[in-house]
Structure 1
């Protein structure tokens, strides 16, 4: 886990960008593009109690922790947000690294689920909330089934969750359609480097 010592964010510091959207819409893929092509952007690494998927690296994709450690982070107020996703694993955003990145005036982004985004809005209402939407419902279903990482039961749970998540689009400041990963990612980065980009969206 990262250092949990918080750094105060100076007045007028950089605005945090929060990316959320329905399951399987490609949030992780867009975030990976940003990580590879825009090293100037700081991306938060979430903590989770779910086991790693093939190819995932601890500390890079997620901080993989057990239930006891996750509960400790929650109890000590070290998470900016936390949630149980799909009724199964716990996810949360370590608070201190976010505050440190903002204090350093770095472009900073959280890639989280809807529940987490709502908690961050309560904690950091000045953040910019971006909804990543699929081109269509049919495309979202295709992506989820094509991923092949869930059982049929898990897919049904995720699809039910996605329907609820799609209905929350009006809660967000900006919507980006993920019809092309590179285009969507570049549009997202533009919101982080150009304060006026969100006004034009």
Structure 2
């Protein structure tokens, strides 16, 4: 869901959107290896627990449900959704703004619903 608080700035964005297991993460990782492209990976926030070799702040921002709720109330998400019962994911405005300030184009790796919402928010800039 769009939060109504859009990122400040006017940069471009790249959205990779597909169902889980379609290979979008593999494509994004390969793209991010090219340092000449001035890209930045948009780290999503989630309420799910850390898994395996994931790294907090690099894989996801791991939030408690209360922290996630507060960010929703404060309009800190570009979009968010409950993907599975009790598990939410979202794109933080500050994550996009941080990359635009550095002159980077944010790259999003999201599911289909998140991709549609991001496209609605960014329009022709994505």
| Distance (Å, rounded) in 2 between the aligned partners of 1:85 and 1:8 | 26
Q: Larger relative CO (CA 8 A, sep 6+): 1 or 2?
A: 2
User: Aligned-residue CA RMSD in angstroms?
Assistant: 2.0
Determine the structure 2 residue equivalent to 1:8. Answer: 8
Question: 1:127/1:113 Cα in 2 relative to 1: closer, same or farther (>3 Å)?
Answer: farther
Greater strand fraction, Structure 1 or Structure 2: 2
Alignment of 1:1-201 (within 5 A): 8-10=8-10, 14-35=11-32, 37-39=33-35, 40-128=38-126
Q: Partners of 1:116 and 1:127 in 2: how far apart? A: 16
Q: Is the 8 A contact 1:15 1:127 kept in 2?
A: yes
Q: Secondary structure at the match of 1:124?
A: helix
Between Structure 1 and Structure 2, whose CA radius of gyration is higher?
A: 1
- Contact 1:18 / 1:127 at 8 angstroms: preserved in 2? no
The number of residue pairs the alignment matches comes to 119
Task: Flag structure 2 segments of 5+ consecutive residues without an equivalent.
Answer: 1-5
1:78: how far off?
A: 0.4
TM-score when normalising by structure 2: 0.82
Does the Cα contact within 8 Å between 2:7 and 2:78 map onto a contact in 1? Answer: no
Measure how far apart 1:41 and its partner are: 1.4
- Give the whole-Å Cα distance in 2 for the aligned partners of 1:126 and 1:104: 21
* Residue ranges of structure 1 left out of the alignment (5+ in a row): 1-5, 129-201
Quote the Cα distance in structure 2 between the aligned partners of 1:43 and 1:73: 20
